[in-house]
């Protein structure tokens, strides 16, 4: 099935089809989805994170709107704040951490979309990190072992 974009404005707190996902304490609101690209607004409360993982067939980008995130990019930590763009190429290990005491907000997008939309639907509200990791692998997102 092919998914094409339509022209229009998606308002600030509005997601595709009214969707809002809660993923391990973070809030993701999908903003656009085609076969070529998928974007979502993310809210990372203080202390939340996405452990190091790999997207073998997607490039990922994160544009920082508010707060600060620490990125683990192939073993090197870098910080990003408002106006910064994190570039996370396909097949390169990366993790995302809010080590600050403030909420961080950002716009994510990946290209191509692949199975990421379906993954977020599958892990919405799942409280067990091990189950999130298991389901992610089924959608071609692979988490590194904890020691990484």
- pLDDT category, 147, cuts 50, 70, 90? low
The Cα–Cα gap between 102 and 23 comes to: 18
pLDDT digits (tens, 9 = 90+) for 51-84: 999 999 999 999 999 999 999 998 899 999 999 9
Per DSSP, the residues of 20-59 read -EEETTEEEEEEEE-SS-EEEEEEE-TT-EEEEEE-TT-E
> Which phi and psi (to 5°) does residue 96 adopt?
-130, 125
CA 77 from centre of chain: 18
pLDDT digits (tens, 9 = 90+) for 115-145: 999 999 999 999 998 999 999 999 999 999 8
pTM for the structure as a whole: 0.93
- CATH code given to domain 21-143: 2.60.120.10
Weakest-pLDDT range from 4-13, 18-27, 79-88, 108-117 = 4-13
> Could you state, in order of their start, the residue ranges of all structural domains in the chain?
21-143
């Amino acid at each position: 099935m092919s998914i094409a974009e339509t022209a229009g404005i998606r308002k600030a707190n509005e997601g595709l089809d009214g969707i809002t996902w809660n993923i391990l304490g973070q809030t993701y609101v999908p903003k656009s989805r085609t076969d070529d690209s998928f974007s979502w607004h993310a809210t990372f409360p203080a202390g939340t994170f996405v452990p190091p993982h790999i997207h073998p067939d997607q490039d990922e980008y994160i544009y920082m709107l508010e707060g600060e995130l620490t990125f683990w990019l192939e073993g090197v930590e870098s910080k990003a704040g408002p106006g910064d763009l994190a570039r996370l190429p396909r097949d390169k290990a990366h993790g995302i951490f809010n080590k600050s005491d403030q909420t961080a907000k950002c716009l994510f997008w990946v290209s191509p979309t692949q199975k990421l939309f379906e993954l977020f639907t599958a892990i919405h509200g799942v409280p067990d990190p091990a189950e999130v990791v298991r389901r992610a692998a089924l959608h071609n997102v692979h988490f590194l072992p904890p020691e990484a």
